[in-house]
Amino acid sequence: MKGDTTVLLVEERREVAERHGRFLDGYAVRTARTVAGALERVDDDVDVALLDRRLPDGSGIEVLAEIRRRRLACRVAVVTAVPLGFDAIEVGFDGWVSAGAGRKELREVVEALLDREAFDAKLRESAAPVLRRAYLESTRGDTALDASEADAELTERIDRLHDEIDDLSRRFSSTDYRAVFRDLGSGR
């Protein structure tokens, strides 16, 4: 899975970008040192973007705003040594990490963002069968459904999906879990 995961690393300092790139071995890493470079490299293939707060030609928040404007599905963490302003909060980042992050911390933030995306995807996948089951219950009644082989398969699928959602949710810290439900409330 990691080799299939693309991380866009946007960092103005070459030595920091190289160090962070080494920390993310096993992932497909794209790098950029400017807002313009980041906007050229971000596309639908990017799963996670790590954006330096301060860049020579602007801010990582500008990149974040463009990612949101394009409706790209990637998760975004801001890498910063300074407190984030309301501009970042309003645009909606998915996480943050200290500019001096070590290997473990950087990998943990990437993995947490990937877990949140997997959780969201599994919720979306479960919506259709749950709605189908609810519709059938309301139009045919429980007795007719219980006798149906198709209902048994549908119920089995729903149960399997719910088990997978439960497994994914166990990976979240309390902060991650609150963020997941914030995402659900915002329609992200």
Predicted confidence (pLDDT) per residue in 168-179, tens digit: 777 766 455 445
The H or E element spanning position 48 is strand 48-52
- Residue 72, domain member (yes or no): yes
Higher pLDDT, 162 or 110: 110
User: Average pLDDT in the 99-110 region?
Assistant: 89
- Residue 93, domain member (yes or no): yes
- Residue 109, domain member (yes or no): no
**pLDDT digits over 130-148, tens only?**
887 777 777 776 665 566 6
Helix (H, G, I), strand (E, B) or coil at 31: strand
Q: What pLDDT sits at residue 184?
A: 45
Last residue of a domain, one of 78, 101, 124: 101
What percentage of the chain carries pLDDT values higher than 90? 39
Number of H helices, E strands in the chain: 7, 7
The number of CA neighbours under 13 Å toward the Cβ of 176 is 21
Last residue of a domain, one of 70, 101, 132: 101
If pLDDT is split at 50, 70 and 90, which confidence band does 122 have? confident
Higher pLDDT, 64 or 94: 64
If pLDDT is split at 50, 70 and 90, which confidence band does 83 have? low
